[in-house]
Chains A and B, each alone.
Chain A
């Protein structure tokens, strides 16, 4: 079976080719990217352009090393989508070398060592994100303080300086811990309402700025659903499980509370993860029941890591863990389907 056919079948959408699907997903990211740029400055756009160029270069290099048709495969936009997703995830103040290492891991190791498009076991963008987070925790948890909490984000010139200078010292004045980080580390026994009121990093629903970013990706995700490019199973079960867990451990907003369901839905990378990353057809489970289990597994892991783990957000880890379990989930759900048919 050819690759584009497989993607088509998996997406259950006969009319679109791989490149059209990839392009649609990239376009659906735009509302979220706009929100990121408004609240956190030009950095995200710089990231996306730089990572996009790098991804095309690495992709071309790997394709020619593996003696494939370079131009033919470059036109499927899959490398570009990986770059866009990674560019959204890494902090907007990232220096240039962070992208080189990240895209290197994504395209070379996570994608082409497994045979390229359609055959990778793990989501390339998330592999890159986790590698960077584990290897460079300082650079990767330094976020620009969002517009509206006293300061305005750095302008284009400052952003470019931070990008080229290779370290974040020039931009220190603009950065701090993100809302989820503060929530985990700086709460010091306050109740949810107290903390919310005292801390300018929070808005109406979740982290200030982050709530708009999440609304943007929710909008893009719903559009993808409407277009039939993704199915509802994974985002639904992932978000439902997160809401359920958050409600279960909300504890009336006491000092031991794990945070409100709203905060978990509209902070950090929840919506991006649910609609754009967990739904990657190649690395997710494929049967409808399998997708529900897969989404639920990711939802549980995200919540557990956010509330009890050491890392600020669990989306990337949870997606990798889901990728890891997906073939087994498929194995099990396909088995029970065939048994039922008998």
Chain B
């Protein structure tokens, strides 16, 4: 139990997906203009990421490994992720139209979030067990959400700043991300 907790903290803070491992940067830059958007994106990503970490583990261990088709993992995982995203959309639409209206627009974008595929691949590289894989996926998603939401609030304040012309827009967002990443360096060695 203790080890799973450490794995969770490590995935959220020490090896934060966005700021330390550079996974999920596209939605990080793309959907962080407003705090509400960021919260919606975070919720949708957390759901899909945890589920896909689970399913890709099962598929890899019980289908690809017995058939000796490990080299097909990239293709398999991307199909799994796309299928989960589509299924989520369908189920959400049928059961909770409100939730679908809030999160629906984010779902298609998640397929191309490299954090999702990244978690599936990293789980295999690290030879994680099933529970470890799920916790790692969940922690990665929490870390992504934390940074995304905080960054969105920061960017709303940044809009008011008198930034020098060449640095306006993505450039200053990058430099802000750099300073954020710098503050996360403090967690080095925690685990």
How would residues 229 to 266 of chain A score, 1 for a CB under 8 Å from any chain B CB and 0 otherwise? 00000000000000000000000000000000000000
Q: Does B149 contact A (CB under 8 A)?
A: yes
- How distant is the Cα of A327 from the Cα of B38 in the complex, in angstroms? 14
Q: Does B66 contact A (CB under 8 A)?
A: no
- How distant is the Cα of A130 from the Cα of B89 in the complex, in angstroms? 44
Name the B residues within 8 Å of A225 (CB-CB). none
Known: A112-B164, A121-B158, A324-B180. A309 touches B153 (CB 8 A): no
Q: Does B179 contact A (CB under 8 A)?
A: yes
Which of B35, B153, B184 is most buried by chain A, counting CB atoms within 10 A of its CB? B153
Q: What is the distance, in angstroms, from B94's C-beta to the closest C-beta of chain A?
A: 32
Range of interface residues on chain B? Answer: 20 to 34
Known: A115-B163, A121-B157. A130 touches B182 (CB 8 A): yes
B186 touching A327, Cβ below 8 Å: no
Name the A residues within 8 Å of B183 (CB-CB). 130, 317, 320-321, 323-324
List which B165-191 residues lie within 8 A (CB) of chain A.
167, 172, 175-176, 179-180, 182-190
Q: Does A305 contact B (CB under 8 A)?
A: yes
- How distant is the Cα of A321 from the Cα of B186 in the complex, in angstroms? 9
A66 touching B164, Cβ below 8 Å: yes
B157 touching A310, Cβ below 8 Å: no
A114 touching B163, Cβ below 8 Å: yes
Q: What is the distance, in angstroms, from A137's C-beta to the closest C-beta of chain B?
A: 11
Which of A311, A321, A328 is most buried by chain B, counting CB atoms within 10 A of its CB? A328
Residue of A nearest to B167 (CB): A113
Q: Does A29 contact B (CB under 8 A)?
A: no
Known: A115-B161, A119-B161, A325-B150. A309 touches B179 (CB 8 A): no
Name the A residues within 8 Å of B158 (CB-CB). 114, 121
B187 touching A305, Cβ below 8 Å: yes
Residue of A nearest to B150 (CB): A328
A324 touching B188, Cβ below 8 Å: no
Q: Does A314 contact B (CB under 8 A)?
A: yes
List which A197-217 residues lie within 8 A (CB) of chain B.
none
Q: Does B1 contact A (CB under 8 A)?
A: no
B175 touching A109, Cβ below 8 Å: yes
A309 touching B154, Cβ below 8 Å: no
A317 touching B185, Cβ below 8 Å: yes
Residue of B nearest to A68 (CB): B162
Q: Does B70 contact A (CB under 8 A)?
A: no
Name the B residues within 8 Å of A311 (CB-CB). 186, 188-189
A320 touching B150, Cβ below 8 Å: no
- How distant is the Cα of A236 from the Cα of B158 in the complex, in angstroms? 29
Known: A113-B164, A320-B179, A320-B183. A309 touches B189 (CB 8 A): yes
Known: A324-B154, A327-B156, A328-B149. A318 touches B186 (CB 8 A): yes
A122 touching B179, Cβ below 8 Å: yes
Q: Which of A113, A114, A331 contacts B35 (CB 8 A)?
A: A331
Q: Does A131 contact B (CB under 8 A)?
A: yes
- How distant is the Cα of A115 from the Cα of B161 in the complex, in angstroms? 6
B182 touching A320, Cβ below 8 Å: yes
B186 touching A314, Cβ below 8 Å: yes
Known: A131-B182, A318-B186. A119 touches B153 (CB 8 A): no
How would residues 299 to 342 of chain A score, 1 for a CB under 8 Å from any chain B CB and 0 otherwise? 00100110011110010111011011101101100000000000
Name the B residues within 8 Å of A324 (CB-CB). 150, 154, 179-180, 183
B180 touching A310, Cβ below 8 Å: no
- How distant is the Cα of A66 from the Cα of B183 in the complex, in angstroms? 28
Q: Which of A113, A308, A330 contacts B172 (CB 8 A)?
A: A113
- How distant is the Cα of A115 from the Cα of B168 in the complex, in angstroms? 10
Q: Does A138 contact B (CB under 8 A)?
A: no
Name the A residues within 8 Å of B161 (CB-CB). 114-115, 119, 121
Q: Which of B35, B175, B186 contacts A309 (CB 8 A)?
A: B186
- How distant is the Cα of A331 from the Cα of B34 in the complex, in angstroms? 11
Known: A114-B161, A327-B154. A121 touches B190 (CB 8 A): no
Q: Does A116 contact B (CB under 8 A)?
A: yes
Residue of B nearest to A335 (CB): B35
Which of B149, B160, B167, B186 is most buried by chain A, counting CB atoms within 10 A of its CB? B186
A309 touching B176, Cβ below 8 Å: no
Q: What is the distance, in angstroms, from A167's C-beta to the closest C-beta of chain B?
A: 24
Which of A's residues lie within 8 Å of B, judged by CB? 66, 109-110, 112-116, 119, 121-122, 127, 130-131, 134, 301, 304-305, 308-311, 314, 316-318, 320-321, 323-325, 327-328, 330-331
A-B contact pairs, 9 of them (CB 8 A): A110-B179, A112-B164, A113-B167, A119-B161, A131-B182, A311-B188, A317-B183, A320-B183, A321-B184
Q: Identify 10 new A-B residue pairs, CB closer than 8 A, beyond the known A114-B163, A321-B183, A331-B153.
A: A114-B172, A119-B162, A130-B186, A310-B188, A310-B189, A317-B186, A320-B182, A323-B183, A324-B180, A325-B150
Q: Which 7 A-B pairs have the closest CB atoms?
A: A310-B189, A317-B186, A115-B162, A320-B183, A328-B153, A327-B153, A115-B161
